[in-house]
A and B are shown apart, each in its own frame.
Chain A
Amino acid sequence: MKTCLIVDDSRVVRKVAARIIQDLKFNIVEAGNGAEALNACRESMPDAVLLDWNMPVMNGLDFLRALRREDGGKKPLVVFCSIENDAEHINEAIRSGADEFIMKPFDADILESKFAEVGLV
């Protein structure tokens, strides 16, 4: 079974996303910010990362750039999931190594559709 790391400082968002992604047959690992997420990746690199932008300690963009520099860090498919949904932010996320981008708020259909776009389901 594939693993998805959900990185968001909101416990509610993590819980909702986890329920949806579990239904897509993923094991779930959670992190509350980019630094926690980076530690989780160093322990075991996930197949997918669902990543918030604005978080304390280390934001999503800094995490993504750091992840892509790690050994094996190019492997996870990263789906940004943010309320910052103007073209500038989206392009910056893609340039920094994101594979897809979900504009919050989202629902199960959107999440599944975006995972399908990058071949995760």
Chain B
Amino acid sequence: MKDEVFNELADLALKGSGQSIPKSKAYLIEARLAPIARREGFGTMEDLVHCVKSRANPAFISEIAATLTSKDTRFFRERGTLQRVLTDVLPERLKATNTGRLKIWLAGGSTGQEAYSLAILLEDELPPALRGAKIEILSTDICKVTTENARNGRYGHYDVQKGLSIHRLTKHFNRLETGQWEASEALRSHTSFRQHNLLESAAGLGKFDVIICRNVLPGMARSARVRVVESLASQLVPGGLILLGQGEGLIGLTDKLEPARDFRGAWVAAGTANAAASAA
């Protein structure tokens, strides 16, 4: 890929989704944009860039930026963290609220595997303290197609075999004639999916007890990370927490959040870590 073509597309990704794509990963751009290039009849990435510059179609540019984001996910990724949300965090949050309602947001939830994993835990391992609670799981992704796929809850042969036991697969998914496996109605009743760009205001999504944002921030430019983190922080209910992926941190990015005590990877509103520690 020519430098000027790479630069145009990398700039488009940065502006559209906050992603910082190094030149060493130019192959990712080609791989991810190949379906769009085919659909639109472009022979090369150069043709695609030429079209983007000459047509200046905002919807097409947004689609390209969204398509360039990573879709990497799997069922029960960092399983221990999800289980701790269920057994420790949610019961404590329920005690702290008088609505009987808890909300979880998977920010950058890709094709929905993490949302359905949480729903499986709610179905299979609901602690007595959460009985009767209304627990809502919202998963958002910047990409329209990815969000639609997550909402459909249909997964292929390879996806359902990574992180999901055969017992859970046959219990919670129905095999379709196409060979795909479809999430059960019970799983769907816990989950909803929306297209959302993390660079934009999340005020319309409401407030959340738990926000899970894993493997999203590391691929972003620093300025975008700051913006996203502050946006996530503003969507937390008092006493709520944000969970990041293994090895991800926020130190130096924001003074609105601090690490939760005794829960690695969890962040709470600054000045509340001690209170959150006793809750978790």
From 172 to 214 in chain B, residues with beta carbon under 8 angstroms from any chain A beta carbon are 174-175, 179
Is B170 positioned at the interface, with any CB of A under 8 Å from its CB?
Answer: yes
Complex Cα distance, B114 from A121, in Å, reads: 22
Residues of chain A having any CB pair with chain B under 8 Å: 85-87, 90-91, 94, 100-103, 105-107, 109-110, 113-114, 117
Q: Are B170 and A103 in touch, CB under 8 angstroms? A: no
Q: Are A107 and B166 in touch, CB under 8 angstroms? A: no
Complex Cα distance, B174 from A109, in Å, reads: 23
Q: How many residues of B contact A (CB 8 A)?
A: 12
CB distance from B66 to the nearest CB of A (A): 26
Complex Cα distance, B163 from A87, in Å, reads: 18
Residues of chain B having any CB pair with chain A under 8 Å: 157-158, 161-163, 165-167, 170, 174-175, 179
Complex Cα distance, B182 from A87, in Å, reads: 13
Q: Are A113 and B163 in touch, CB under 8 angstroms? A: yes
Q: Are A91 and B170 in touch, CB under 8 angstroms? A: yes
Q: Are A90 and B162 in touch, CB under 8 angstroms? A: no
Complex Cα distance, B161 from A106, in Å, reads: 9
Complex Cα distance, B162 from A100, in Å, reads: 12
Residues of the A chain whose Cβ atoms lie less than 8 Å from the Cβ of B163: 113
CB distance from A22 to the nearest CB of B (A): 20
Of the candidates A86, A105, A110, the one whose C-beta lies within 8 Å of that of B162 is: A110
Residues of the A chain whose Cβ atoms lie less than 8 Å from the Cβ of B179: 85
Q: Decide: A113 near B166, CB < 8 A? Known: A86-B175, A103-B157.
A: no
Residues of the A chain whose Cβ atoms lie less than 8 Å from the Cβ of B162: 109-110, 113
Q: Are A87 and B161 in touch, CB under 8 angstroms? A: no
Residues of the B chain whose Cβ atoms lie less than 8 Å from the Cβ of A101: 166
Q: Are A100 and B170 in touch, CB under 8 angstroms? A: no
